[in-house]
Amino acid sequence: MPDIIVTLLNLGVVQILLIVFVFVMGLASMMTLLGDRKQSAKIQNRVGPNRARLPFINHPLLGIPHFLADGIKMVLKENIVPDGANKTLHLIAPGLVFLPALVAWAAVPFMDTYCAGEMLIDTATWTETCQGEEHRWFQIMNFNSGLLYGFAIASISVYGAAIAGWASNSNFSLLGGLRSSAQMVSYEVSLGLSLAGVLMIYGTLDMNEMVRQQGYLIGDWLPMWGIVVQPVAFFLFFLAGMAETKRAPFDLPEGESEIVAGYITEYSSMKFAVMQLGEYVATVFIAALIAILFLGGWQVPWLFADGFHFGSTVIELPYWLVIILRIGAMCGKVVLLVWLQFMMRWTLPRFRYDQVMTLGWKILLPLSLANLVVTAFIMALF
Amino acid sequence: MAKHEVKQVERVEPGLWEKSYIPEIARGLKVTIGHFLNNLRPNKEKHTTFTREYPDVPTDYYPDRFRGLHRLMLRDDGQVRCVACMCCSTICPANCIHIEAAEHDDPAIEKYPAVFVIDELRCIVCGLCVEACPCDAIRMDSGVHAHPFTDRGEAFLNRDLLMEMGGLSMAKQGGER
Ligand code: SF4
Ligand code: SF4
């Protein structure tokens, strides 16, 4: 590999560009089109956007020209700041929603450390050890409290929503901001508590380390993914995560039928787009968290650094292919989870606000506490 | 006091199975995912989409009383049937029929429309003009959809154009037949 690329990789510039701008932004903006519009159309027996055309190409191209047209439209629209709004806060609120959602990606590993030396596989404990230099090339930042960091940063985005609601000088926005803060605060509790059981099992906050541990094969055949050892926590986390990202059926903060568009009512032009995009990025982030914590992150079942291990038979694969497979697995899992969240959105009707609160405080919270206690018991017994 | 008939509706109380939501959510997801996958199939025939791709694909079904573009009916000798009585332009709620009457050479016919223009973009396709016409001169049964116009001027359909779509009427001017 040319030296310059290696240097950039070690600096983390390439990762930032690839992960944040290509994968996350690409996926999030594609979701606004394909996820929100095409997928819903398919579910509802419609065709979806197909009229916009690129110049000289007389083909709908899956509706992608619509997405470009939307972008141009957003940029060209007039930026309206309502009378009596707090101009500064109104301006920084979209950034406060958008930035944390992007910054949180720093801790997400897309692959294990790149091993320059030889990888040793211990089939007794199903662990890989690297003999030689390790490079953190597939994770922007490496630190041993990645999960805490991710959570801390992701919860900042509620400030964006609350400030946007307050600064807009509109009652709809204010209600939306209030609802959004209340909802985020209540679900953050179960979100964190549902993870406590998982943390007890893995015993680490380092996301990459967590994924490594999920490579262990129980009884030499069942991958020890989070969903296998903590099924209840997976369910709780998925639900709370959906509420956290304000997706339907929990999209109360922007319930169209009640409060127009909640805290984004008074936003227009690119500010509106940034707000929306921030929400989609948050959705992708939650999907990535679920993938890492419960679905084995970059692990492909039975795949280790030297190939597939089925019992004692080994199908040898070159290391570079393993890397590609693992990155593909991580991206694929995220896409699948995002798809599932959208499916939920188009399947379930919206909750009433008191029902959301009941669900959060009276059902999810006790359940996650019970899960924690049971896990602790089992851990203590074995 | 009047006797009221009371109909008892049986309420179905959800059992614990339904109340726990999860199985029901899974059932709902099965339906939506089923639709989603079905409509992704490469074989378009099997799709359950209801969307009609008009105007790329012509519509296969119109109801009997479908109102399309207007047409002006003709007399037996091919002249315009309209007598420029202004009934249609008077009743038109969209104010989109413009008629300029002129004297006819034939003493048996009092007037004829020298100019007869309908602005199809303003027309709300209510069909009142057809109802108002005393001599079956204007109809909307051409079966032609108002197509998209790229220029406003194109939407002004004039007399000759409307007559081209017309034909002989079953009714006879002055009654009988
Ligand atoms: S259909 Fe209605 S709107 Fe159209 S020309 Fe006739 S009267 Fe006017
Ligand atoms: S079309 Fe019929 S109603 Fe209209 S001016 Fe002619 S004769 Fe009168």
Percent of chain B past pLDDT 90, that is, above it, reads: 18
Name chain B contacts of A46, Cβ cutoff 8 Å: 49-51
Name chain B contacts of A47, Cβ cutoff 8 Å: 49, 51, 53
Atom of ligand 1 nearest to the CA of B128: 7
Return mean pLDDT, chain B.
83
How many Å lie between the alpha carbon of B47 and the closest alpha carbon of chain A?
Answer: 8
pLDDT reading at B175 higher than 60:
no
Question: Which of A42, A44, A343 minimises the CB distance to B29?
Answer: A343
| CB atoms A42 and B25 under 8 Å | no
Please give the pLDDT value at position B100: 93
Distance from residue B87's CA to the centre of ligand 1 (Å): 11
Which among A351, A157, A175 has a CA at the least distance from the CA of A263? A175
With H, G, I as helix, E, B as strand and everything else as coil, classify residue A305: coil
What's the mean pLDDT in A276-291? 85
Does the beta carbon of B97 sit less than 6 angstroms from any atom of ligand 1?
yes
SS3 content of chain A, % helix, strand, coil (to 5): 65, 5, 25
Name chain A contacts of B51, Cβ cutoff 8 Å: 45-47
pLDDT reading at A181 higher than 80:
yes
Please give the pLDDT value at position A113: 73
Q: What torsion, rounded to 10 degrees, do the Cα atoms A41, A42, A44, A50 define?
A: 30
Atom of ligand 1 nearest to the CA of B95: 8
Q: Which sign does the torsion angle of CA A80, A85, A86, A89 carry?
A: negative
The answer to ipTM > 0.90 is: no
Q: Predicted confidence band at A8 (pLDDT cuts at 50, 70, 90)?
A: low
The neighbour count for residue A30, using CB atoms within 10 Å, is 17
pLDDT reading at A1 higher than 70:
no
Lowest mean pLDDT among A111-120, A290-299, A325-334: A111-120
Distance from residue B80's CA to the centre of ligand 2 (Å): 10
Tens digit of pLDDT for each residue in B7-51? 888 888 877 877 777 788 888 889 888 888 888 877 777 778 888
The neighbour count for residue A216, using CB atoms within 10 Å, is 15
Please give the pLDDT value at position B176: 56
Residue length, chain A? 382
Most confident of A16-20, A68-72, B166-170: A68-72
Question: Which of A42, A45, A346 minimises the CB distance to B50?
Answer: A45
pLDDT reading at A230 higher than 90:
no
Please give the pLDDT value at position A9: 67
Q: Predicted confidence band at B173 (pLDDT cuts at 50, 70, 90)?
A: low
SS3 content of chain B, % helix, strand, coil (to 5): 25, 15, 60
Name the closest-CA residue to atom 8, ligand 1. B92
Please give the pLDDT value at position A45: 85
| CB atoms B53 and A347 under 8 Å | no
Question: Which of B25, B32, B50 minimises the CB distance to A43?
Answer: B32
Contact A33, A70 (CB under 8 A): yes
Q: Predicted confidence band at A174 (pLDDT cuts at 50, 70, 90)?
A: confident
Name the closest-CA residue to atom 3, ligand 1. B123
Contact A35, A284 (CB under 8 A): no
Residue B164 or residue A247, greater confidence: B164
Contact A311, A220 (CB under 8 A): yes
Who contacts A172 (Cβ-Cβ below 8 Å, separation ≥6)?
A259, A260, A261, A262, A265
For chains A and B, CB pairs below 8 A equal 37
Please give the pLDDT value at position B86: 92
Q: Can you count the helices (H) and strands (E) in chain A?
A: 16, 9
